[in-house]
Structure 1
Amino acid sequence: MKNYLLLLLVVPGLAAAQTPIPFVLTGHLGADAYRSAPTYVYLRYGRIVDSAVVKKGRFELKGTVDAPTKGFLSMRRNMDDLSDHKAVFYLEQGTLVFTSPDSLRNAQVGGTPLTDAWRVLLTVEEPINRQLNALEKELRAATPAQQQSPAWRQGLQAWRAALLRERTRLDSAFVRAHPASMISLYVLNTMSKDATHDGLVTALLPTLAPAVGTSPLAGEIRTKIRQNALGIKAQTALQVGQMAPNFTQATPEGRQVALADYRGKYVLVDFWASWCGPCRAENPNLTKAYHAYKGRNFDVLGVSLDEARDRAKWVKAIQADSCPGRKYPS
């Protein structure tokens, strides 16, 4: 058999390590895994791809990483489907040991703190992930009648939502049980990709050990949550029926114009730029709208997105397009 490794992702937030970290991978595979000769195992981490010959079921790989790094080891050259022929682990200082009676998929992997904690997490999540895989198979095998059935789709959606809630509960329990492991921080980083988990992630971050909770990745997670909160606040402010947020910008003549100056009017706010051809192509239509409704308490406010260094282009575009009655703060 041939071995092939899926790509390995550098763990976010730890890429700035200064001293190379040496690692060793050793493996002992059962005869079923290496009947063909020669047999190779393939490892890829970062942009590095390495391989080793399996001799009498044994192999060894050595290398260095700049930071603890997640990796995949495989015995397949086909890179399209490694789901059944790979081992997942973390490369860090120390020796990782693989033992399996047949394939890498069934290998027992351990020997370093991150990988040991990672395997615990996989064991915790395995029942839920197995059901999620079954759900996906059912979805792919659906008949046309099922696909068009709202009740069938709603049933699958409810099933999936329940499984994801349970996985979140299990992951949260893992984080609380392993506060000193960076794996817990990686779990929270994954959770934080869904803004609906921001409250939970915010509550769990302080439970981490100081060395983990003050790491660069923890800072990135906190920043992401703050940005999500600002985005939600902005979305709420821009919902239909809400008062538009006020802003103040200068006209070409230097006069300050605020949206609040138009309170009580119907205002069409047009965001444009001198470099935006489609925006400027709409100017004749804006002129028509202004002339059609200017007697009905209507006005047009054009807000430029040009950079300050492009002021000359902005002013030139205003002069070239000449939209009567339109205000041009920038």
Structure 2
Amino acid sequence: MKYSLIALPFIALQFGAQAQEKLPFTLAGDIKGLPNRYVYLAYAESGKEYRTDSVLSKNGQFTFSGKLVQPVEGRIYVDKKTAMYGEGDMASFFMEAAPMKLKSSTGRLKDAKLTGSKAQLDQDQLDAARAPIMKKLQPLSDAFNKLNKEYITAIKAKKSEAALEAYKTKLDKIKDQMEPYYEEMEKTDKAFLTEHPNSYVSAQLLRFRIGNMPLQEGEAFYAKMSPEMQQSASGLEIKQELDALRAGSPGSPAHDFTKTDIEGKTISLADFKGKYVMLDFWASWCGPCRKGNPHLKELYGKYSSKGFEIIGVSDDDSKPEAWKKAVNEDGIGIWRHVLRGLDWSKREKNLPNPEDLSDYYGIHSLPTKILIDPNGVIIGRYGGGGEDDEAMNKKLAELFGA
């Protein structure tokens, strides 16, 4: 099953509220051939503190120092502009409170090897297991990134809809080719999680993977972690994620909400009591979501007269015009549509965003569909952290008849 992730892989980790001792670290760099210039190091220091340091490299030599509560992923780079987009010469590694060395003989940070960190040894092992898959995936990833840049340029140049559609078709084709390798990578990652339940690398990996796992699988991985690891930055976030997934999984009462729909009318989940309701979490920019719309229309046409309703919940809060255009193009205005309620200004400041429906249902990848029974209880989750569309089709056939 294909998903479009709506979470970022590199995030500032949050630590627990309990007081923890900060211990010193040093990171000595020896990047032979690196021009004299500033080098930047970014990492989560503690609590909500995300730190970025800079030092001047001379003849490839530089030293960072600071304090850490626990091992964290750090990112080192030389160009702040490209680093924002994950591009340019940069490297990521696991730092810990110890004397560490970063060495490269090519003049590039991306080729550097970190020593002195036990956590990084685990990351090296994971990277080695992933390497054969990455070798096959890289050409496709490069082709996708190149084509995607051309697509963005075409949008800015206001190319015709036909030209833009041609780009999207090509991008979707590359995505389809990449999918088997992503599935293989997922198996490799889960094998690592099984073998290393008490690694900080595993904790961060599980934090990234948890949103697409069935609830029971995520709970099983979490249960194998030691109390120390469960209280780590990633461990605490995993707990929060599991709680959110549980709230959006079968057996839990569906969060009631009231929104203004695409036509400016008020809509509440409570209005649909007595019917089966499918919440379809999607977005105009999500290829797999748009591809699945014809099938949703088929299901709606088949079961709507038997008490089946759909409410589309779109992740297009920043671009409502794109949302409305997609609804019209795909012909899905036959059911009700609302925006999820994401406020990026609050999210960036780590402030509560009570209007965001995705938080109440544990949605971190698209498409995800939540099936609710006439009494307001969730009886199905399909997509991120749930079953596949085949299971959804079977469930609806059982409820309404083939």
- TM-score, normalized by length of structure 2? 0.48
2:73 to 70, 73, 90: 70
1:135 pairs with 2:144: yes
The within-5 A match list for 1:72-221 is 72-79=75-82, 80=84, 83-101=87-105, 102-126=107-131, 127-128=133-134, 130=138, 131-141=140-150, 147-148=165-166, 155-194=173-212, 196-213=213-230, 215=232, 217-218=234-235, 220-221=237-238
Deviates more, 1:215-224 or 1:104-113: 215-224
Indicate how the Cα distance of structure 1 residues 162 and 209 shifts in structure 2: closer, same or farther if over 3 A, else same. same
- The unaligned stretches of length 5 or more in structure 1 are 1-7, 246-330
Give the aligned partner of residue 39 of structure 2.
Answer: 41
Q: Distance in 1 between matches of 2:39 and 2:72?
A: 18
Are the structure 2 counterparts of residues 236 and 60 from structure 1 closer, same or farther at C-alpha, using a change threshold of 3 Å?
closer
Identify which range, 84-93 or 231-240, moves more after superposition.
231-240
> What is the match of residue 259 of structure 1?
none
The SS at the match of 1:97 is strand
227-236 or 51-60, which moves further after superposition? 227-236
> Structure 2 counterpart of 1:201, which letter?
G
Amino acid at match of 1:83: E
Equivalent residue, structure 2, for 1:230:
247
Shift in CA distance, 10/152, structure 1 to aligned 2, threshold 3 Å: closer
State the shift of 1:67 in Å. 3.8
How far apart are 1:21 and its partner, in Å? 1.8
Give per-residue Cα distances to partners, 1:7-54, cap 9 Å, x unaligned: x954334574521121100111112x12xxx43322233443322232
Residue deviations 1:148-200 (CA, integer Å, cap 9, x gap): 49975653343343233222111101112222211111111111233x44343
Tell me, in whole angstroms, the C-alpha distance in 2 between the residues paired with 1:96 and 1:10: 21
- In 1, the alpha carbon distance for the partners of 2:184 and 2:203 equals 19
Q: Secondary structure at the match of 1:202?
A: helix
Between the aligned partners of 2:187 and 2:224, the Cα distance in structure 1 is 16
> CA 1:78–1:236 in structure 2 vs 1: closer, same or farther (change >3 Å)?
closer
Q: Distance in 2 between matches of 1:179 and 1:108?
A: 24
Note if contact 2:79-2:88 (Cα within 8 Å) is conserved in structure 1.
no
CA spacing shift, 1:12–1:22, aligned 2, 3 Å: same
SS at match of 1:109: strand
SS where residue 25 of structure 2 aligns?
strand
1:104-151 per-residue CA deviation (whole Å, 9 max, x = no partner) reads 111112211222222333444454462444434344446956834997
Q: Which has the larger radius of gyration?
A: 1
Kindly indicate whether the alpha-carbon contact (under 8 Å) linking 1:39 and 1:54 is maintained by their aligned counterparts in 2: yes
Cα separation, 1, equivalents of 2:171 and 2:81 = 34
- The alignment of Structure 1 onto Structure 2 pairs a total of residues equal to 233
Structure 1, 84-93 or 228-237: larger mean CA deviation: 228-237
**Structure 1 CA distance for aligned equivalents of residues 79 and 193 of structure 2:** 34
Distance change >3 Å, CA 104–CA 91, structure 1 → 2: same
2:274 is equivalent to residue 243 of structure 1: yes
The equivalent of 1:55 in structure 2 is 58
Distance 1:216 1:225 in 2: 15
| One-letter code aligned to 1:70 | E
Any conservation in 1 of the 2:215–2:249 contact (CA below 8 Å)? no
Q: 1:22 is matched with which residue?
A: 24
Following superposition of structure 1 onto structure 2, how do residues 285-296 of structure 1 map, counting pairs within 5 Å? none
In structure 2, do the counterparts of structure 1 residues 240 and 161 end up closer, same or farther at CA, with 3 Å as the change threshold?
Answer: farther
Give 1:214 shift: 6.0
**TM-score between both structures, scaled by the size of structure 1:** 0.58
Output the CA distance in 2 between the equivalents of 1:236 and 1:214. Answer: 28
One-letter code aligned to 2:197: P
Q: What fraction of aligned residue pairs are identical, expressed as a percent?
A: 20
SS at match of 2:198: coil
Letter in 2 for 1:202: E
More off after superposition, 165-174 vs 82-91: 82-91
